[in-house]
Amino acid sequence: MRVNDSTSFSRRHFLKQGAALAIGFSFSGLAVARVLGEITEADATPVAKAKSVDGTRVDAFLVLEGDGTLTLYTGKVNLGTGNTTALAQMAAEELEFPIGRVRVVQGDTAMTVDQGATIGSLSISNAGIQLRQAAATAAAAIREVAARAYRIAPTEVRLENGAAFRGAADKQGTPYHRLLGAHPLALNLDPKAPLKSTGNYKLVGKPVKRDDVRAKVFADFTFMHDVKVDGMVHARVVHPNAYGAQLVSVDDTHAKKVPGFLRTVRVGNLLAAIASDEWAAIQSARALEVTWSSWSGLPEQSKLYDAVRVLPLHDQGKVLERGHASDTISKASQGKTVRATYAWPFQTHGSIGPSCAIGDYRDGKLTVWSATQSPHLTRDQIARMLKMDKGDVRLIYVEGAGCYGRNGHEDAAAEAALLSKAIGRPVRVQWMREDEHGWDPKGPPVISDMVGAVDDEGRIQAWQYTSWVPYRASGSVDVPLLAGELVRASTLADVPDNPGGMEFNMVSPYAIPNVNVVVNRYARSPLRPAWLRGPGRLQHTYANESFMDELAAAAHADPIAFRLRHLSEPRLKAVVEALEKRSGWVRRPSFSTRPGGNIARGRGMACVRYEPNNAYVAAVIEIELDRTTGVIQVGKVTVVHDCGLVVNPDGVRNQVEGEVVQTISRTLFEEVNFSASAVTSVDWLTYRLLKFPELPSQVDVVLLDRPDEPPVGAGEPACAVIPSAIASAVYDAVGIRPRTLPFSPASIRELLKS
């Protein structure tokens, strides 16, 4: 089995090169680290290369091999987003190194610096800056070494294509690895090392192809599900049949008759069948006779939002209070006052491939292979669950089948680790579809109540926003591990039941004199919650931008003209103005043209300054709505995106296009269904996704490159503007506005009847 992604390569091949020359250290003769499919009995215990993970050292991020290859180490991981390609571009740019000779090691806790979870499209703005500075530090040092070797001033040294030259006339040059072979370096990262000016960029800002795409298209890519460890066995976990159920009894008499069955493992409420191969594990798990206690503590789904309003609150807070919003609204005329409530349902991550992980515990050490987007944090959680020192736990990231938030990857990893420790052998855990949909943590429900008033000149005078979101336990903790809850072990000192980050973008970007924004933080969610793409920003932007359109309608104003009237931020205004021009928008109030016929057509728009990384995005969406069936078909989508300096324009466009498609699916179809006991939408029939024939007819992405601005998140911010643009397009088409997601055909038919 070979590795095809340039961001994940064979460390066996790496070490076979012999003693490697490194910026900061050298190494040789170390045991080979086990990775992906290259695992043999000789590699019974994985050993990482003895390298620094001290973020103040250059060699924590960059290693120059003896064959002239540059290896980049990052704690961020490629979740299919291509972020490691952009990171390589940034480092290669500063170091004047050919991108074709850069390799990336990602998310290996024994070999990479903890740069935080890969979330919020923050890889470039966080990890990218560190890597860029490390490369700049190395470049300055190489110039000094070359200057001494050539007996010239450092300013006369020219670095180009991985070699140092004696000024402009030198055509030969000396490759870095040969130069440093005689002059080894040990460098601390200099946060003030001079950076290249953007006007001299040769690589950053240019489209660079990802060489993992072809391998994925032709099914030649190594995913987490393809990893094999010698001696591993397979497990199927039997999760409870209700959220609060307790394991009463288990009888494995029939499971013992399954060829390949090895044993049953029970630790508290965690139950698993262990077998020699995957199919045997599935059959064995199905053959177990299990009794669970009854439990029915979930609210009635049809009354979910009423239930959320009365959930016990952890606290209530004022996010913003400016002027006198309540008094202004009470004095406003009835026709100029708008009230609305927007509701967002439980949604699941719905990874196409179910979560998978391998745990290998032996001699007091644990190695875990996982597709988690938080390698270091997951390692820490697993160590705490198993009461191990985190230095004795190594987590190796391998790309999985989707993430975008905290889905089931971490839970599968924790189960694999716990089961391996229980039986003393490597254990592979792969969830079934019903496990993934039933037990991965969900994007939580959010409710937003809004009241606003406009004056006779069409300006907003008052704005009130009240929302219900999960309480943010802490900025540094993760969602509790399911395995830890099942065995009643504590994964955190104070186990929170909610994800954080749900309060971003509660405050709209508009200049309004009287504003009141209040957040109700509910203490516990009915279903185990976690972050799901665009947490908080998506829900609040949906409410804010839908409400802006409702106020525009009350003022009989064009939606774009109305927004520009209230915007003062130059970059956000520039995005909206560019959108108006590119989309061919014709100014008019919404629902001002009302042609007959069964098919109604409309257009809607939305914009956002995405928090906290401050990308600026705006979109126009055109739709057709069938009045008989209630089906919404999205046509052309135009997106204008400003993420500062664009590192890889091809990668940014890929991410925006993917975000548009995923969020259309979440807007039109996705909703978790549940009974009083458990989730019932446990397959692709009951949890509906967007299908290929339902894709938008066109996604036109305009990138406003700002090379003098720092690069910020690209991709995720685009999700925030899609739902409200669709909602406004529906209003423009039929004069009725959907306010509760998803906008399914059934819900649209009900709206039209009403």
Residue 662 sits in a domain of what CATH number? 3.30.365.10
Least confident among 222-226, 333-337, 573-577: 333-337
Say if residue 154 is preceded by a cis peptide, omega within 30 of 0: no
**DSSP class of residue 666?**
H
31 falls in which pLDDT band (50, 70, 90)?
Answer: very low
Residue 351's pLDDT is: 86
Closest CA to 299 of 746, 688, 672: 672
Instruction: Clarify whether residues 651 and 724 are in a common domain.
Output: yes
For residue 174 the two structure tokens come to 């000396």
Residue 6: inside a domain, yes or no?
A: no
Q: How large is the average pLDDT for residues 165-194? A: 88
Answer yes or no: are the C-beta atoms of 690 and 625 closer than 8 Å: no
Domain range for 625: 311-346+444-753
pLDDT 10s digits, 594-614: 778 999 999 999 999 999 877
Bridge partners, 470 (sequence order)? 522
Residue 111 token pair: 């070999």
CA 321 to chain centre: 32
Q: Rounded to an integer, what distance in angstroms lies between the CA atom of residue 208 and that of residue 85?
A: 8
Q: Is residue 618 part of a domain?
A: yes
Out of 439, 464, 488, a domain closes at 439
**pLDDT mean over 364-368:** 97
Residues 287, 169, single domain; the answer is no
In a domain, 4, yes or no: no
Residue 303 lies in a domain: no
Residue 593 sits at φ, ψ, to 5 deg, of -115, 130
Q: Which two tokens stand for residue 614?
A: 């401050």
| In 455-528, beta strands by DSSP E | 460-470, 514-522
Domain check: are 434 and 460 in the same one?
Answer: no
Question: Which residue from 189, 222, 234 is spatially nearest to 62, judged by alpha carbons?
Answer: 189
Within 10 angstroms of residue 246's Cβ, the number of other Cβ atoms is: 13
Q: Are 395 and 382 in contact (CB under 8 A)?
A: yes
Residues 621 and 729 in one domain: yes
- Up-side HSE of residue 324: CA atoms within 13 Å toward CB? 5
Instruction: State which of 155, 189, 217 marks the end of a domain.
Output: 217
Residue 585 pLDDT class (50, 70, 90 cuts): very high
Helix 722-734 and helix 649-668, axial crossing angle in degrees, nearest 10? 50
Domain stops at, among 373, 407, 439: 439
How far apart are the C-alpha atoms of 603 and 384, rounded to whole Å?
Answer: 51
Whether 601 and 709 map to the same domain: the answer is yes
**137 part of a folded domain:** yes
Q: Mean pLDDT throughout 727-741? A: 97
Residue 513 lies in a domain: yes
pLDDT tens figures, 606-639: 999 999 877 999 999 999 999 999 999 999 999 9
- By the 8 A CB rule, do 515 and 547 touch? no
Shared domain for 360 and 459, answered yes or no, is: no
* Element (DSSP H or E) covering residue 291: strand 289-292
- Which is more confident, 41 or 290? 290
Closest to 445 in 3D by CA, of 520, 549, 389, 367: 520
d(C-alpha 117, C-alpha 114), whole Å: 8
Is the pLDDT assigned to residue 541 strictly greater than 80? Answer: yes
Q: Which two tokens stand for residue 546?
A: 């839908």
For residues 331 and 209, membership in a common domain is answered with: no
Burial class (CB in 10 A: 0-12, 13-18, 19+), 297: exposed
Position 12 pLDDT exceeds 50: no
Whole-prediction pTM value? 0.91
pLDDT of 22 strictly over 60: no
Same domain, residue pair 530 and 648: yes
Could you give the C-alpha distances from 158 to 21, 96, 203, 318, in angstroms and in order?
21, 10, 17, 56
How many whole angstroms separate alpha carbon 508 and alpha carbon 610? 10
Residue 50, pLDDT above cutoff 70: no
What is d(CA 536, CA 467) in angstroms, rounded to the nearest whole number? 10
For the segment 96-119, the average pLDDT, to the nearest whole number, is 90
Contact 405, 349 (CB under 8 A): yes
Q: How far apart are CA 700 and CA 657, in angstroms?
A: 8
What's the domain count of the chain? 3
Counting other chains too, the contacts that 734-738 makes at CB distance below 8 Å and 24 or more residues apart are: 734/591, 734/600, 734/602, 734/625, 734/627, 735/591, 735/594, 737/546, 737/549, 737/550
Instruction: Looking at the structure, tell me whether residues 236 and 88 fall in a common domain.
Output: no
- Binning pLDDT at 50, 70 and 90, where does residue 487 land? confident
Whether residues 213 and 259 fall in one domain: no
> Do the Cβ atoms of 718 and 121 come closer than 8 Å?
no
Domain membership of residue 616 (yes or no) is: yes
In a domain, 134, yes or no: yes
Give the 3-state secondary structure of residue 450.
strand
Q: Are residues 126 and 175 in the same domain?
A: yes
Pair (341, 354) in one structural domain: no
- Give the model's pLDDT for residue 40: 34
